[in-house]
Amino acid sequence: MFDTNNSIGRVVSLFSGCGGLDYGFAHAGFNVQAAFDNDEHAVSCYNLNHFGKAKQQVIDESWSLEAPVDVIVAGPPCQGFSTGGGYTENDPRNSLLLATCRLVVKSKARLAVIENVAALTNKRNQEYLTQAQEILVKGGYWCSVQVYSAADFGVAQRRKRTVILARFGNAPFRGPIPHKTEMPTVAKAFRGIFSSLQAHNPKFPKPNSKHAVIAKRIGAGQKLCNVRGGDASIPTWDIPEWFGQTSSFEKQILTTIRALRRRNRKRDFGDADPVSLSEIKMEIPQVSQDQLTSLIQRGFMRSSDDLYDLKDTFNGKYRRLDPEDVSPTVDTRFGDVQLFLHPTENRGLTVREAARLQGFPDEFVFPEQEKEAYRLIGNAVPPPMSIQIAEACRELLA
């Protein structure tokens, strides 16, 4: 795929995944000598695409490189730091960020690029980020830590990621400055998607099924959501075809509870709390216990300890992409029709569409097992972003 006869530096990749970060370095003229990941599906996908050779390998403190290297690129596991990954304090995977930094120091690579979630810079993760920087600085590296938006690199999604760029020596430098040739949108990303493309297999829900009925009521940029108001949120009580009929007064009750549960806080965690009958009566004096009971029986509300709350309190499912905007972050669940909808068709996203939104070229091959393909795409660095990071690294090595 790439000519490495005139390569400008030797690259080794750790926690490579399917190779989104590595692809950019190969594209920019680096020689990707080797890549390592402990996931067999990631390794297989990487090797299908011919820009380096990946091996299945557990990366930890005891492991070391076998040959000199100019650049180490790494994407250590991010789930423990992520706000969307079920954050767990002291997640054992978090230590792999520090192990990566120690391997960089041990290797004496001229440059290192370590990519992770934007939440790595959050207060609760600050200790790990500080330790990572201390390891690199004590090892002789100058560090740049920046949070980037993929859209600024021309990628059609609002994905944000932290990039640690470390160069051996004490000379300060500026990190990559993103640029784009045009404003990215979902519609532009989907131009020219043909049925013959690998991993493009649109699947429509069965007519009159739950997914089909709900999808018909969700417009561009909207989502099924009971806990937020506004034009972007379609509550269950506005889809009577599936969830059942409600009167105008019942809708008033439900929307009042929606506001009260966020306004009248009882706990110091979360973002909403159940409300009492007296609180509801303060807003709607004529409301009755029987009316609340009816809404509970029909699945619009629930009750516990004499408090009332809405049913289905997730903050958005069936998110329909807006063709004239960028996509939400492409994550590992992007193929689930209950979570994301095609911008104009009543179905979920194909693997190839998810790949387009990440900026992967159409010739990039993904596994036939769709679940694995979505996971690999969702965990990857968008290639347009990695290309510009690699180009900045090329200048730093000049």
Query: Torsion angle, CA of 122/124/129/134, rounded to 10 degrees?
Result: 130
Topology match between the domains 10-179+381-397 and 226-310:
no
The pLDDT > 70 percentage for the chain reads: 94
Token pair recorded at residue 79: 């789930």
Measured distance CA(236)–CA(312) in Å, rounded: 8
Q: How far are the Cα atoms of 8, 103, 229, 386 from residue 255, in angstroms, in the given order?
A: 61, 54, 8, 45
Top-confidence residue, 125 or 380: 380
pTM over 0.85: yes
Domain boundaries, the chain: 10-179+381-397, 226-310
The CATH classification of domain 226-310, taken from the options 1.10.10, 1.10.287, 1.10.540, 2.60.120: 1.10.10
pLDDT of 190: 97
Token look-up 């669940």 returns 333
Examine the pLDDT at 87 and tell me if it is beyond 60: no
pLDDT of 316: 92
Examine the pLDDT at 93 and tell me if it is beyond 70: no
Q: Which CATH architecture has domain 10-179+381-397?
A: 3-Layer(aba) Sandwich (3.40)
pLDDT of 198: 96
pLDDT of 200: 97
Examine the pLDDT at 146 and tell me if it is beyond 80: yes
For 98-140, how does the pLDDT look when each residue is reduced to its tens digit (9 = 90+)? 999 999 999 999 999 999 988 888 887 788 899 999 999 999 9
Return mean pLDDT, the chain: 92
pLDDT of 191: 96
